[in-house]
Each structure stands twice: as C-alpha cells, then as structure tokens.
Amino acid sequence: MRARDRGWCVRANRWGARGAVRRYFAVVSRLGDGVFWYGLMGALVVFDGLQGLSASVHLAATGVVALTLYKRLKRWTRRPRPFTADGRIRAWVAPLDEFSFPSGHTLHAVAFSVVALAYYPWLAALLIPFTASVAVSRVVLGLHYPSDVLAATAIGSLLAGASLWLGAVLL
C-alpha cells in the first residue's frame, strides 16, 4: 500500500512541472491556507447579516477544532512529507510545517465546505470544485501523499458532521 501511495504521489507531482498546473495549484493552496475561508466568512456576514454571522461563527468554531486536531495528529504520527522521503518528489511550494499526515488544508476545506453547505447549499458550485482542487493540490505540490488527503477528507467530514449535530442539539 505504501508503494502505491508513493507511486501516485510521484505521478501527480510530475504535473507540477508544467508551469500553468503548478501556478494554479500554488494559488489554490495559498487560498486554502485560510484566505478563501476568511473571505467566505466575511462575505456571509456582509451579504446575509445575522444568519451569515451564525454560519461564520459555526465555521470558525469548527476551524479551531480542526486546527487543534490536525496539529495533534501530525505530532503523533510524525510522517515525513513526500519530498523529504523520496528524491523523485519535488516540493513546488514551501510547506507550512514539518509533517505530512493528515493534510490540514484538506481537513479544513472539507470541514468548512460541509458546514457551509448545510447553511447555504447553493454554494456547492463554488465550494465542491475548490475543495477538490485544494485536496489535489496537496499531492501535486509534493506536500502530501494521497492517503494523507483521503484520511483528512474522512476526518474533516466526521468533524463537520459532529459539529452540525452538536449545533442542532444545542439550538
């Protein structure tokens, strides 16, 4: 399984050698650092008032939990990033931290998207492609293995589901 994971990572990382592909995923990755999500939260408040504020607070609370969870998992698993473990893989952008598992960008993107879509289903046309691009960017840019992204997708989905359930119970 590790060999397949590494093989997929090597193949995806080769896409980054193409300038347009690398630039696209570098921009998506940078937006996924938080810029996109903070902008979304601000836009929700501006365009939807108190309902937007409620959704934004829910997103922010989910984000704090996601950040705490993924940082602990990274310290616990200490999985090296692909570009440090395999000389064939190049980091096309600088990583934000040392370890690979799970992908924090993907975990946040999935959790934020699920929560945001619970409030605003019509945002699916924007959020689903953006979240998928964030997930793919992590592998293409040489920062994560596909398994890091898949695990982060599952964790982000579970976290968002728990957040929505808890929100329903408390309200």
pLDDT, mean of residues 133-144: 96
Q: Domain 2-170 classified CATH 1.10.606.20?
A: yes
Cβ neighbours for 44, distance < 8 A, ≥ 6 positions apart: 52, 53, 55, 56, 116, 119, 120
Q: How confident is the model at residue 171 (pLDDT cuts 50, 70, 90)?
A: low
In the chain, the DSSP E strands lie at none
pTM: 0.93
DSSP 8-state code for residue 16: T
* pLDDT tens digits, one per residue of 143-163: 999 999 999 999 999 999 999
Per-residue pLDDT at 170 exceeds 80: no
Beta bridge partners of 99: 80
